[in-house]
Amino acid sequence: MVQSLEGKVAFVTGAGRGIGKAIAMDLAKAGVNVGMLDKNEELLKKVASEIGTIGVKVAYGKADISSLEQVEQAIEKMTTEVGAADILINNAGIGIFGKLLDIEPEQWKKVIDVNLMGTYYVTRTVLPQMIEKNGGDVINISSTSGLSGESTLSAYSASKFGIIGLTESLAQEVRHNHIRVTALTPSTVVTDFIADLQLVDDDKAEQYMHPEDISQFIVSQLKLDQRIHVKTASLINTNPF
């Protein structure tokens, strides 16, 4: 039986642009009330304005997710405005390219702090809401770089491997609370981050996944009957070359 998402509450990190924005928008179109976290408040305001025209509740909290204090403040604000979460999408993340010896320790640590510790901080803050409701969905955005390490991406790969481990452990902890925890491992998605790094030629962009492809998959997954748990899912570009 397909579940309706209408009236549920979702918190989405990194919702100011790219994959996070697409997820927030598509969830809103499915009738979900949305709370958004991002460190860029101006982007959040623009997305909130767009979602507001759809007719669902929307709230946002400015936060650097590598700070537990900022996360807790943002979640408290959003909970007050749209309610306790039924859905959590941990999407926010950063990346840095460079050989291990060429990256400064502070830079390497920052990737871990945002991608892995940030996912932990947000989940730790939101999870009690789902336990109290005795149900929910947590979807963590990892990467194909979390399945196999890549040259010049040691910090990013390490953080994304860590997200998969966190996901699998947490899924076992909360399964009896009827909370499903999933890790998605997409390959290259055409976002501003990818464009800034010039990793995809403009004339080949349509051959790669776009943020809307990820968000549409997530909405479909969330509608699956509660008896189905997607442990991990790899989303791969069909024919990018």
| Tokens encoding 75 | 């979640």
CA-based angle 17:194:236, to the nearest 5?
A: 95
| Tokens encoding 84 | 């306790």
Q: What is the rounded CA–CA span in Å between residue 164 and residue 71?
A: 21
E strand residue ranges, the chain: 9-13, 33-38, 58-62, 87-90, 136-141, 179-186, 232-235
Residues 6+ apart with CB under 8 A from 5: 27, 30, 31, 32, 87, 219, 222, 223
Active site residues: 156
